[in-house]
Structure 1
Amino acid sequence: MTDQTITDAEKAFAPIRAYIDALNSGDVDGVRAAYHFPHVLFNRGRVVHYPTADSFSLGDFLNRVGPDGWVRSSIDSHRVVLSGPQKVHFDVRFTRWRADGSAIGVHHSLYIVTEIDGRWGLQSRSSYG
């Protein structure tokens, strides 16, 4: 791996951090800004397609995690699985947390980040969480 590839991977990871930060603060516009659209989610046997920023909301996520007492998520680790000049696949391990500090669960997700028009954004997610 060259230094340039490492730099690109770190730049490519920035939208994932921005996504988690926005998710934790309930900032739907921040989540939308971290994504590229169309955005695709593979989760729990479903494929969800968000063609535009306006088609995305936090409602589905909050309905899924609310009953567990979710208040935030943290990134535990990440690694590059595949990468090219304008696309990076990340294996991301994260934990979901309750307000009392107890962990709801630890999950792995595959996040695909793309560079479009000079901007890195989260294009697709495949998650078991």
Structure 2
Amino acid sequence: MILNNFTKKSKWALWLVAILLIAGVSACGGAQPEEVALSEQVPVRRGSVDVLGQVQEITAEILDIPEADVVETADFRDDLDADDDEMTRLGEAFAEAFGVEISEQEVNDLTTVKSAVDLIESK
């Protein structure tokens, strides 16, 4: 009888704790992460990201081409048809995405996708 009574009290105590925990999480809004606009995100550091993948994604977006076309050996001007304005936009986008400074001369010296990756990794 005593053991049976203790078990009932324990069950009620566990239910009460569970309900209080659920109520507490609900009151806090469930701690759901908020979506952050891309422009408000912290720049990605080179050591924690696939630089080639990011360069390919940025290049495809700015040049409005399929990401599959942006291979390491692709020449920005000859293979991907980037003009001077697009190269400037690429340089700015790389600088912002990776939190580095890229000079106008460095942008002008970029030839292939690999050269952009190497430049970013050297900074």
**TM-score in same-fold range (> 0.5):** no
Instruction: Give the greater-gyration-radius structure (CA).
Output: 2
- Greater helix share, structure number: 2
What TM-score comes out, normalization by structure 1 length? 0.25
Name whichever structure is richer in strand by fraction. Answer: 1
TM-score by length of 2: 0.26
